[in-house]
Amino acid sequence: MLSLKAITNTISDDFPEENIARLKKHNIQSFWLHMGLALVLLSSLVYAHVGSIRSLIIWFGFLTVTGFIRLNHNSSEIKPSKFDPSSSKIWVSKYILLTTLMSSLWGAAGVFLFSEEPVVQTTLIILLISVLIATIPVVLASRAAFFAQFITILAPLAFSMSYNFSSGDHIMLIICLVALAVTIIFASSYLNQVITQLQETQQALQAQAETDQLTQLANRRAFDMSFKKEWRRSTRERNPIALLIIDVDDFKLYNDTLGHYTGDEYLKKVANAVRSNARRPSDIAARIGGEEFAILLPGTGVDGAYRVAERLQKSVERLDVKYPLDKNRKLTVSIGISSCSPKQSKEGGNTDIVFPAMLIKSADYAMYQAKREGKNTIVVEGCGMHSVPEPIKDSPLKEPSDVVPV
Four-residue CA torsion sign, 99, 103, 104, 108 = positive
Rounded Cα gap, residues 116 and 182, in angstroms: 26
Half-sphere exposure of residue 181, counting CA atoms within 13 Å on the CB side?
Answer: 20
Helix, strand, coil in percent for the chain, rounding step 5: 60, 10, 25
Rounded Cα gap, residues 171 and 176, in angstroms: 9
Rounded Cα gap, residues 31 and 73, in angstroms: 12
Helix (H) or strand (E) holding 379: strand 378-380
Return phi, psi of residue 326, to 5°.
Answer: -150, 105
Of 210, 265, 291, 373, the catalytic one is 291
Question: Is the CB of residue 140 less than 8 Å from the CB of residue 95?
Answer: no
Active site residue 116: no
Strands 322-323 and 326-330, by their bridges, are antiparallel
Rounded Cα gap, residues 116 and 43, in angstroms: 16
Amino acid (1-letter code) at residue 174? I
Four-residue CA torsion sign, 54, 60, 66, 72 = negative
Question: Is the CB of residue 108 less than 8 Å from the CB of residue 59?
Answer: yes
DSSP 240-294: -EEEEEEEETTHHHHHHHH-HHHHHHHHHHHHHHHHHH--STT-EEEE-SSSEEE
Contacts with 293 (C-beta within 8 Å, 6 or more apart), sequence order: 217, 245, 246, 247, 270, 271, 274, 285, 286, 287
Rounded Cα gap, residues 66 and 41, in angstroms: 18
Strands 343-345 and 333-340, by their bridges, are unpaired
| Residues paired with 323 in a beta bridge | 326
Return phi, psi of residue 20, to 5°.
Answer: -65, -40
The set of catalytic residues is 291
